[in-house]
Structure 1
Amino acid sequence: MGNAGRNAVVLVVTKVADATADLVIEQLNARRIPIVRLDPGDFPTSVAVNAYLGNHGLSGSLRTPSRIADLRGIRSVYWRRPSPYSVADDMRPQDAHWCADQARYGLGGLLGALPDAHYVNHPWRNRDAEHKPAQLAVAARCGLDVPPTLVTNDAERARWFARECGPVVYKPVRNTDYHGDDSRALTVWVEEVAPSEIDTEVGRTAHLFQQRVDKVADIRLTAVGDQLFAVRIDGAPGLDWRRDYDALSYTLIETPPEVAKAVRAYLDAFGLVFGAFDFGLDRHGRWWMYECNPNGQWAWFPDPITERITAALADRLQSPGNAHAR
């Protein structure tokens, strides 16, 4: 069965608790589109795969506790936030590491090679696009405005940058899970730093310092193929709007043509269909790009905005042949 067949399914790859994916699944269910939901973290306990490869290409089946999918009958893949590959608790650490690696490259390799499937986004494209220094370099090349930024492990150079380009902010290069001594989950927020606050601890790893944008608002632009949903965010009490969602207000706005053109060039450069871009808007109306999360969240917006993004994603997954492939 080819993926253009009437019964071709949409494969949603994510963990159980994913409210964002749930919205898209509900939309596809309402359209009577067959869906298979898969969490690779359930492999091999409750997920089984039988894949055949040869001169004929790739064929076979994927079985979850409630569905069976023909690997040739998957029209599109919505790659969200799967759990890590898991192993049995009674394994020795070395055996557990080996088995998890076999699952990652075995099942993961198959999920990334589905014949003719349309990915939103392909997991390997997500991986490539997650590196913030690469994001900023590509953004500038595509015509987006990028604030002066320094990535360094040199404290002296960081202090120099803070003096010459200040005020500057510190941001983590990657948002990695972090826990305090009491095991509570902690967040590393965007904070302004003075030259005197930068010490030799910078030498322990890579740090990102960036000139602070004198912003009047924030913008989250969610791109789904050629459709762009730019939301102005007002009311943030500090530099990092994520610290107080209750204080925020949201307005859907038009994307300037030059920004839209650069965003589409950025998506093409990384081979992405979806991207969640963060911008700072200055008093002159200039959009300064901070980052692009290739698998960012969007479902916290007010319903009228969320519903439009949900529909755009469902359209893309339902009829990939009608979308411009990236």
Structure 2
Amino acid sequence: MKAPVLVVACLDDPTTDLVLDELHDRDIPVVRFDPGADFPDEITLSAYLDRSGLTGSIDTPTRHLNLSNVSAVYWRQPTPYRPSPNLDPGSAAWTADQARYGLGGVLAALPGTFYLNHPFRNRDAKYKPLQLATAAACGLTIPHTLITNRLRSADGFISRPGRTVFKPLWSTPYKSETGKWRTIWAHRIDHEDLDETVSGAAHLFQKQVEKVADVRVTMVGDRVFPVRINGAPALDWRLYYDSLSYELIDAPPAVVKGMRTYLDRFGLVFGAFDFCLEPEGEWVFLECNPNGQWAWFDDPIPQQIASAIADMLTRPKGSS
């Protein structure tokens, strides 16, 4: 029997479903669960470690997984570990941490297993300052950027030529004064928007790129899927899905080389890169999501990406 692919993902994820369909069409056995939601109520873990390495098993209500016999892991945004609601706050925090470092540690240590991507590499690659610094070191063009909690520095940066954009460093939901949860998107910022509250947190300010289009490049190994996003009337195209159209294009060789070097620096196999395309043809790097979405593109792009991911997950063990 073929060794299974382990899929670690939340249950409601169309992106994962496309890859699962591709694996099923290839007759590849799959074990899927969401450790944050399913452990410990739906998952039992028995992992043994000695001088021979890691052995043992994980059991779900419908699957048995031999930890020594996993061919590959597709790591797709599982939910955070959460404790039982019946526990007091101290016990709840303790049990959630034990799950994260226990089950999470086992899932990160499967012997001889290929990860797309390894969860620790995903974690490292999510920090925007590190993304920008790495992109520049890899030869990619980046916008002029300031990260600060100093009002004077922010005010001086806005005074420089060009419009300034504020972006959150992490997409944490924010509770407004009215008590409603909202997401903070990239938006223009001017002098009158600044005050002493800048000192209360780190902020990312960036010179706005004058663009003719956005480009999302999904990279799987050495396969590149650059998609031009047309029709976005504002800074952040994610607010305007209904008005967007998508076109598969070619990426300049120098950009492809920079992206490949970028993924290698982080130890990644997969990355979803966001670029602005300037009128003169310059590709300006904005960020790279190591676990980015791609299922919403027009057909046949999602199927092509799902096939590329399945190709990586079904390579013989030990292949480079």
TM-score by length of 2: 0.97
What is the rounded CA distance, in whole Å, between the counterparts of 2:150 and 2:262 in structure 1?
30
Does the 8 Å CA contact 1:160/1:195 hold for their aligned counterparts?
no
The answer on 1:11 being equivalent to 2:6 is yes
Q: Kindly provide the amino acid, as one letter, of the partner of residue 104 in structure 2.
A: G
Task: Specify which of 17, 20, 28 is matched with residue 15 of structure 2.
Answer: 20
Matches within 5 A, 1:25-104: 25-41=20-36, 42-104=38-100
Matches within 5 A, 1:154-233: 154-180=150-176, 184-233=180-229
Instruction: Give deviations 1:199-254, integer Å, cap 9, x for gaps.
Output: 21111100000010010000000011111100001110111111111111110011
What is the rounded CA distance, in whole Å, between the counterparts of 1:213 and 1:235 in structure 2?
16
Q: CA deviation at 1:165?
A: 4.0
Q: Kindly provide the amino acid, as one letter, of the partner of residue 149 in structure 1.
A: T
Instruction: Name the structure 2 match of 1:272.
Output: 268
Cα gap change, 1:274 to 1:183, in 2 (>3 Å): farther
Q: Kindly provide the amino acid, as one letter, of the partner of residue 222 in structure 2.
A: D
Instruction: Give deviations 1:175-196, integer Å, cap 9, x for gaps.
Output: 1122335654412111111223
What is the rounded CA distance, in whole Å, between the counterparts of 1:22 and 1:183 in structure 2?
34
The answer on 1:240 being equivalent to 2:236 is yes
Greater mean deviation of Cα atoms: 186-195 or 273-282: 186-195
Does the 8 Å CA contact 1:118/1:320 hold for their aligned counterparts?
no
Q: Kindly provide the amino acid, as one letter, of the partner of residue 95 in structure 1.
A: S
Instruction: Give deviations 1:267-322, integer Å, cap 9, x for gaps.
Output: 00000011110000001100000000111111000121111101001111111548
Does the 8 Å CA contact 1:47/1:65 hold for their aligned counterparts?
yes
What is the rounded CA distance, in whole Å, between the counterparts of 2:316 and 2:149 in structure 1?
44
The answer on 1:303 being equivalent to 2:299 is yes
Greater mean deviation of Cα atoms: 183-192 or 292-301: 183-192
Instruction: Give deviations 1:59-108, integer Å, cap 9, x for gaps.
Output: 11111111001101101000011122222222111111111111111100
What is the rounded CA distance, in whole Å, between the counterparts of 2:318 and 2:238 in structure 1?
36
Instruction: Name the structure 1 match of 2:123.
Output: 127
What is the rounded CA distance, in whole Å, between the counterparts of 1:84 and 1:288 in structure 2?
32
What is the rounded CA distance, in whole Å, between the counterparts of 1:179 and 1:119 in structure 2?
35
What is the rounded CA distance, in whole Å, between the counterparts of 2:74 and 2:283 in structure 1?
29
Unaligned runs of 5+ in 2: none
What is the rounded CA distance, in whole Å, between the counterparts of 2:114 and 2:68 in structure 1?
12
DSSP 3-state at the match of 1:255: coil
Greater mean deviation of Cα atoms: 305-314 or 191-200: 191-200
DSSP 3-state at the match of 1:20: helix
Greater mean deviation of Cα atoms: 65-74 or 182-191: 182-191
What is the rounded CA distance, in whole Å, between the counterparts of 2:278 and 2:311 in structure 1?
34
Cα RMSD for the two superposed structures: 1.3
DSSP 3-state at the match of 1:73: coil
What is the rounded CA distance, in whole Å, between the counterparts of 1:182 and 1:207 in structure 2?
23
Greater mean deviation of Cα atoms: 54-63 or 196-205: 196-205
Greater mean deviation of Cα atoms: 44-53 or 160-169: 160-169
Instruction: Name the structure 2 match of 1:144.
Output: 140
The answer on 1:114 being equivalent to 2:120 is no
What is the rounded CA distance, in whole Å, between the counterparts of 1:276 and 1:146 in structure 2?
16
Does the 8 Å CA contact 2:227/2:246 hold for their aligned counterparts?
yes
Does the 8 Å CA contact 1:316/1:323 hold for their aligned counterparts?
no
What is the rounded CA distance, in whole Å, between the counterparts of 2:23 and 2:172 in structure 1?
32
